[in-house]
């Protein structure tokens, strides 16, 4: 089983940033209002995620580290209407199989916090821990037991940059969330709970915030909200397109294509501008179970989604020109 976990880890935990993503998603699923992240050496030495979410009961702590243990779906049926970010129950088990992981938690209403540690596939007995609320997961020495994978880690600066990407995506998707990020003991980001446009400014800068166009469209069970960058913005690069489907960061060809076409059509712009878009639709109309890292989705009616996005953006962009 340890081996199975390690193999799964290869898919789920490609690098420190993928572990960070799993941990932050768990915090979001637990209803956290604030999350702090501490990293050392780009995350390869330490990833610590603390939240003030609902916590985990002592009796469930060890289970949370075992493979396919999820509290989020109860049946295959549920898989078609996933509302949480996690659902496979392999995040923690995979990370634990390739690191020194400790999980501390104080369940809501519990008088005491408890901690379990995973060590080479062995889960130790729960011990009392000092934690006021929520959950803290500490991941040390990622890939210490898989030298072949450790070799593929890039420099700490590169791994940190990937972690920061993950952090920023969460920050953009949840302006109400208070967030901090430290790296090697230095505070990199400190974000208080704020309005969506304040959050855009804090994360993406003044130039974007001063010129961004707010979008709000709905039709036929589809909803599009967010902020589209002005095409004159100098800073539009390849990694400046943030798309969230039901709160989940995705890279999707259908969405990218529709947005690109709208910009091309109205503004004759043939590069991707900076934008942050939130698409909401019935969870049954989108398959999120495509890949373990879950940045891919499959729309059941992708043509309808494409049409809706294109027309919504087209209208919004055309209004600014008028
Ligand atoms: P999944 O998220 O797919 O359910 P994970 O392996 O990531 O699987 O987590 C396993 C279980 O551990 C979750 O279903 C949840 O019950 C619990 N858990 C993990 N992290 C947290 C957290 N930060 N707060 C509360 N519960 C958590
Ligand atoms: Mg998870």
Q: How confident is the model at residue 234 (pLDDT cuts 50, 70, 90)?
A: low
Query: Distance, CA 223 to ligand 1 centroid (Å)?
Result: 29
Instruction: Provide the strand spans (E) within the chain.
Output: 34-40, 46-51, 100-106, 113-119, 122-123, 127-129, 134-140, 178-183, 186-191, 213-219, 222-228, 241-245, 248-250, 275-280, 286-287, 298-299
Asked whether residue 46 carries a pLDDT value surpassing 80, the answer given is yes
Cα–Cα distance, 251 to 296 (Å, whole number)? 6
pLDDT exceeds cutoff 70 at 235: no
Q: Report, as an integer, the average pLDDT of 7-24.
A: 85
Nearest CA to ligand 1 atom 16: 71
What values do phi and psi take at 159, rounded to 5? -65, -40
> What value does the mean pLDDT of the chain take?
88
pLDDT above 60 (res 238): no
Distance (Å) from CA 155 to ligand 1 centroid: 29
pLDDT at 148 exceeding the cut of 90? no
CA distances from 199 to 5, 80, 109, 203, 273 (A): 37, 32, 32, 6, 19
Angle between helices 253-267 and 302-321 in degrees, nearest 10? 30
The stretch 278-305 carries a mean pLDDT of: 85
pTM of the model: 0.92
Nearest CA to ligand 1 atom 14: 70
Model pLDDT for residues 178-214, shown as the tens digit of each residue: 999 999 999 999 999 999 999 999 999 998 899 899 9
What pLDDT is recorded for position 297? 85
Residue nearest atom 10 of ligand 1, based on CA coordinates: 64
ipTM of the complex: 0.99
Rounded CA gap, 41 and 39, in Å? Answer: 7
Structure letter (DSSP) for residue 133? S
Confidence of residue 266 (pLDDT cuts 50, 70, 90): confident
101 in Cβ contact with 138 (< 8 Å): yes
Pinpoint the alpha helices (H) of 90-239. Answer: 91-97, 147-150, 156-173, 196-204, 206-211
29: which residues sit within 8 A by CB, 6+ positions away?
Answer: 53, 72, 84, 85, 86
Interaxial angle between packed helices 156-173 and 16-29, expressed in degrees from 0 to 180 and rounded to the nearest 10: 20
Q: Facing residues of 25 across strands?
A: none
pLDDT at 12 over 80: no
Q: Ligand 2 is a single-atom ion; what residues have CB below 5 A from it?
A: 26, 86, 91
List, chain by chain if needed, residues with CB within 6 Å of any ligand 1 atom: 22, 26-27, 30, 51, 53-56, 64, 69-72, 86-93, 135
Cα(105)–Cα(132) distance, integer angstroms: 9
pLDDT single digits (tens) 82-107: 667 776 678 899 999 999 999 999 99
Spell out the residues 6+ positions from residue 11 whose beta carbon is closer than 8 angstroms to its own: 94, 292, 293
Domains of the chain (ranges, CATH numbers): 2-191 (3.30.565.10), 205-321 (3.30.230.10)
Return the closest-CA partner of residue 189 out of 171, 175, 206. Answer: 171
Residue reference for tokens 């505070």: 187
């Amino acid at each position: 089983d340890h081996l199975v976990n390690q193999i799964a880890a290869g898919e789920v935990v490609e690098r420190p940033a993928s572990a960070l993503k799993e941990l932050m998603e768990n915090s979001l699923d637990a209803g956290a209002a604030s999350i702090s992240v501490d990293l050392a050496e780009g995350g390869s030495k330490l990833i610590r995620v603390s939240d003030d979410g609902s916590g985990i009961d002592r009796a469930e702590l060890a289970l949370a580290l075992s493979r396919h243990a999820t509290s989020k779906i109860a049946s295959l049926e549920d898989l078609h209407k996933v509302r949480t970010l996690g659902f496979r129950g392999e995040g923690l088990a995979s990370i634990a199989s390739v690191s020194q992981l400790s999980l501390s938690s104080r369940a809501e209403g519990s008088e005491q916090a408890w901690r379990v540690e995973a060590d080479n596939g062995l889960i130790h007995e729960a011990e009392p821990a000092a934690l006021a609320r929520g959950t803290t997961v500490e991941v040390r020495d990622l890939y210490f037991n898989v030298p072949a994978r450790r070799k593929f880690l890039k420099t700490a600066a590169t791994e940190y940059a990937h972690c920061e990407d993950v952090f920023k995506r969460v920050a953009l998707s949840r302006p109400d969330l208070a967030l901090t990020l430290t790296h090697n003991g230095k505070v990199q980001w400190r974000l208080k709970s704020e309005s969506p446009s304040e959050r855009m400014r804090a994360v993406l800068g003044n130039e974007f915030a001063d010129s961004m166009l707010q979008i709000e469209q709905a039709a036929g069970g589809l909803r599009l909200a967010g902020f589209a960058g002005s095409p004159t913005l100098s800073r539009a690069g390849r990694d400046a397109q943030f798309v969230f489907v039901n709160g989940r960061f995705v890279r999707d060809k259908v969405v990218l294509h529709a947005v690109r076409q709208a910009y091309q059509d109205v503004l004759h712009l043939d590069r991707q501008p900076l934008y942050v878009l939130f698409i909401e639709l019935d969870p049954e109309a989108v398959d999120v179970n495509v890949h373990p890292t879950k940045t891919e989705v499959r729309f059941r009616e992708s043509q309808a989604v494409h049409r809706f996005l294109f027309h919504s953006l087209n209208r919004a962009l055309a209004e600014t020109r008028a």
